[in-house]
């Protein structure tokens, strides 16, 4: 308090309006084996479309991982995803030995200064998908377009429909495959036929050139040869393959010009050369116009216009790795610098096809260790905010080996103690295959019980009964997919329509979406066996849909925490109150602070009680648990007693027939 020397009024404020903050309850985490996307890095996605955009469409090897996570997104809209680093996974590159660039952070830390020695470019994402990419660079106006008397046809018999002819110096410095040609006459007149028609060079062999018709409006190469005859010694104009994608030739940018530099601009095009990305070979994926070779060049808004920086910031498909050897002074400062290229050839466009990308682990078959490493990214409660951890497809049954993926996610949940892990049995436990009798429900029951029995007891885990059969719209087939993503999704949907302390099971909140059928549809007897083994059955009832028909955690010991709603209630309370309690740190452990804490927590618990999460509570935070010894150890203690609301698992209906004339009061309670 300020010290006053003379009389006056001192006004001070004490804020007692603090409240327990709302906390997230429906953010999920999971691992995806995919064709693209960052590796060993947590990525937040909010929809199935975004999942596809970042990690690619599923294939016959990756669909279980994809759809397990996509199914969660049918119910919730916050999913953190990690792609594991599979053995052998590398990015496609321009030359040399391929390397693994895991993510943008990895690139910035290890590759952004040209350290890799793999040529000019690398695919943005590791895997074979990058092998489809071609990067074409146009560094000057001559490369952009060229014409003149030196460009002469050397063929006396070029008739309508021809697709090949001879040309002066075809194998030298005049033209290259991919260029666009337009023909004139021997005097260089391009105002009449055969001008106005464009042709793409599809091949060069010695002096023989092969062409196909080209449509500049669509950028599509068409079938057919010459539309008009071309005379011997006729002149032609040559255009860069992507000439029609740009408004002007590369020249000198305004920023570099103001600094006394010149000829710094580049045009860059990224192409799906083989069609593996877009579905159509030759599709233009990205264009970049008027980028600068000057390391300090700026655009009109003051941002960097240096081509390496722009590619890093804006490209979805490539990383810059090094300057082309033919680019003069690339990467130099702009002041007084000439970037004009000195070439022996007329044609100076630079086209590079990327190669060497590998999907890893012999194409999408990860080891348990690789998956476990990816899941370890979620084992950081302080920095990674998730509430639901989706195990995805199990690699092996728990009765076959104790070192399973399911065990890993349970361990993470037990260590964090603020999430629930969702686990499905191994595929071979419930999905039939050639020569297998696993389609027998009795055998399936035995398998699933054995799987659950192999897992440790934990209130932080939920086990379901198997797989659902669903439509894969990306490949036009039906597939069996683990249910654990759906069960986690039911919890997220419950949070949205009710609260985290409501059970996600049953006909009100437990409806499974997109299930054509179940691999294992247990009957009442089988459900009894599964429930005793801590497994929540998923059941299809005729006319009533497919439903999660249980709400048990994987805890073996009977207690309040063997129910999903109670475990998630306590996680919510603990997370929210712990967050609020941080503001008591470094304050004095006196009655004022303790009263302030009670006044913070009790209204919050009354609100939860009013929303049916608890039936009663008590907050003890006074000198009975904050004794002198506790205070002297610089500790602060609060005991919060909770009576959780319990979900109904069993309903008993007693129907009693009475004689006519008997009053109900006579028999009620008898």
CA dist 263 and 251 (Å) reads 5
Q: Which residues of 6-29 are buried (b: 16+ CB within 10 A; e: fewer)?
A: eeeeeeeeeeeeeebeebebbbbb
Average pLDDT over residues 517-540: 97
Structure tokens at 60: 């016959």
Check: CB of residue 309 under 8 Å from CB of residue 282. no
Q: How confident is the model at residue 401 (pLDDT cuts 50, 70, 90)?
A: very low
Among the ranges given (218-222, 285-289, 508-512, 638-642), the one the predictor scored with the smallest mean pLDDT: 218-222
CA dist 226 and 183 (Å) reads 10
Would the pLDDT of 334 be above 80?
yes
pTM: 0.89
Query: Mean pLDDT across the chain, nearest whole number?
Result: 90
Q: List C-alpha distances in Å: 472 to 59, 61, 64, 516.
A: 10, 13, 10, 11
Q: What percent of the chain has pLDDT over 70?
A: 94
Would the pLDDT of 436 be above 70?
no
Structure tokens at 529: 């066996």
Structure tokens at 412: 């993470």
pLDDT tens, residue by residue, 177-198: 899 999 888 888 888 888 889 9
Residue 173's pLDDT is what? Answer: 62
Among the ranges given (183-187, 197-201, 410-414, 649-653), the one the predictor scored with the smallest mean pLDDT: 649-653
pLDDT tens, residue by residue, 442-461: 999 999 999 999 999 999 99
> Three-class SS of residue 653?
coil
Q: How confident is the model at residue 359 (pLDDT cuts 50, 70, 90)?
A: very high
Q: List C-alpha distances in Å: 88 to 62, 321, 480, 540.
A: 17, 20, 28, 42
Q: List C-alpha distances in Å: 614 to 243, 463, 606.
A: 69, 25, 9
CA max distance for the chain? 120
């Amino acid at each position: 308090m300020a010290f006053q020397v003379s009389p006056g009024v001192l006004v001070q404020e004490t804020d007692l309006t603090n409240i327990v903050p709302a906390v997230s309850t429906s953010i999920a985490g999971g691992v995806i084996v995919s064709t693209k996307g960052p590796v060993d890095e947590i990525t937040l996605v909010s929809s199935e479309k975004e999942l596809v955009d970042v990690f690619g469409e599923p294939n016959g090897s990756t669909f279980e991982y994809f759809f397990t996570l996509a199914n969660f997104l049918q119910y919730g809209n916050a999913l953190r995803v990690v792609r594991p680093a599979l053995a052998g996974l590398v990015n496609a590159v321009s030359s040399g030995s391929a390397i693994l660039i895991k993510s943008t952070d990895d690139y910035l830390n290890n590759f952004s200064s040209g350290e890799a020695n793999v040529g000019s470019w690398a695919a943005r994402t590791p895997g074979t998908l990058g092998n489809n990419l071609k990067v074409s660079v146009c560094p000057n106006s001559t490369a952009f377009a060229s014409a003149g008397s030196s460009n002469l046809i050397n063929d006396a018999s070029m008739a309508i429909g021809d697709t090949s002819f001879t040309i002066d110096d075809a194998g030298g410095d005049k033209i290259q495959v991919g260029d666009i040609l337009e023909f004139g006459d021997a005097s260089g007149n391009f105002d009449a036929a055969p001008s106005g028609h464009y042709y793409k060079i599809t091949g060069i062999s010695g002096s023989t050139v092969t062409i196909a018709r080209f449509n500049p409006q669509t950028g599509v190469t068409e079938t057919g040869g010459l539309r008009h005859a071309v005379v011997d010694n006729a002149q032609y104009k040559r255009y860069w393959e992507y000439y029609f994608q740009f408004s002007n030739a590369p020249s000198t940018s305004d920023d570099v010009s103001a600094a006394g530099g010149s000829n710094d601009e580049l045009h860059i095009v990224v192409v799906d050369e083989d069609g593996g990305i877009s579905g159509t070979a030759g599709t233009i994926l990205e264009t970049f116009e008027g980028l600068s070779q000057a390391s300090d060049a700026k655009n009109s808004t003051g941002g960097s216009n240096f081509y390496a920086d722009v590619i890093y910031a804006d490209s979805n498909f490539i990383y810059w790795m090094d300057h082309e050897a033919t680019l003069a002074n690339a990467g130099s400062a702009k002041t007084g610098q000439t970037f004009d290229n000195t070439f022996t050839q007329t044609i100076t466009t630079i086209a590079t096809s990327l190669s060497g990308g590998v999907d890893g682990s012999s194409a999408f078959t990860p080891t348990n260790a690789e998956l476990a490493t990816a899941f370890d990214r979620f084992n950081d409660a302080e920095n990674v905010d998730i509430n639901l951890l989706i195990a995805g497809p199990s690699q092996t049954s728990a009765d076959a080996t104790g070192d399973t993926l399911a065990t890993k996610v349970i361990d993470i949940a037990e260590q964090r103690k603020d999430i629930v892990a969702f686990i499905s049995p191994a595929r071979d436990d419930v999905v039939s295959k050639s020569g297998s009798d696993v389609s027998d429900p009795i055998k399936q029951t035995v398998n699933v019980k054995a799987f659950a029995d192999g897992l440790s007891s934990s209130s932080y885990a939920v086990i379901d009964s198997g797989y659902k059969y669903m439509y894969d719209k990306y490949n036009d087939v039906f597939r069996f997919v683990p249910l654990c993503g759906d069960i986690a999704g039911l919890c997220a949907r419950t949070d949205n329509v009710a609260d985290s302390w409501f059970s996600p099971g049953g006909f009100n909140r437990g409806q499974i979406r997109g299930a054509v059928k179940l691999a294992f549809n247990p009957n009442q007897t089988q459900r009894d066996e599964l429930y005793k083994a801590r497994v929540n059955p998923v059941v299809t009832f005729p006319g009533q849909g497919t439903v999660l028909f249980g709400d048990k955690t994987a805890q073996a010991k009977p207690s309040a925490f063997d129910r999903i709603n109670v475990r998630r209630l306590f996680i919510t309370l603990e997370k929210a109150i712990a967050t609020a309690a941080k503001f008591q740190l470094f304050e004095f452990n006196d009655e004022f602070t303790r009263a302030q804490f009670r006044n913070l927590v009790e209204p919050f618990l009354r609100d939860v009680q009013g929303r049916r999460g608890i039936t009663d509570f008590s907050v003890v935070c006074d000198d009975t648990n904050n004794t002198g010894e506790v205070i002297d150890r610089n500790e602060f203690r609060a005991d919060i007693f909770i009576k959780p609301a319990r979900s109904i698992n069993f309903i008993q209906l007693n129907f009693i027939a009475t004689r006519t004339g008997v009053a109900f009061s006579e028999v009620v309670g008898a």
